[in-house]
Amino acid sequence: MRQLSAPQLRDWLADAGRTKPLLLDVREPWEFETCRIAGSLSMPMRGIPARYHELKRDEEIVMVCHHGARSFQAGMFLEQMGFTRIINLQGGVAAWARDVDPAMPTY
């Protein structure tokens, strides 16, 4: 699975000439309410086996969690289900807050 740093994701999202990825946030609802990257879709990790059919298998999907471990596991599951363009956000929203948006609330 490809890995992407928070600054790399920031640059991608800011590039008007590039198709935006789906930002799939696999954290719990309370975590998502506390802080999130704008435009993220909340799909808690435990619900992915029941909901992955809602996603496009050929779409670029950036997996997001708090520090990058849960999103990596969820991304591995999606790859096993035939998804071909899964990317994990290294360091998760914690890295985003540290490296891209210092005003983002943290926990």
Strands 61-64 vs 22-25: parallel, antiparallel or unpaired: parallel
35 part of the active site: no
Distance CA 107, CA 91 (A): 14
Largest CA distance in the chain: 37
φ/ψ of 64, rounded to 5, equals -130, 135
Catalytic member of 65, 89, 95, 97: 65
Q: Which residues are catalytic?
A: 65
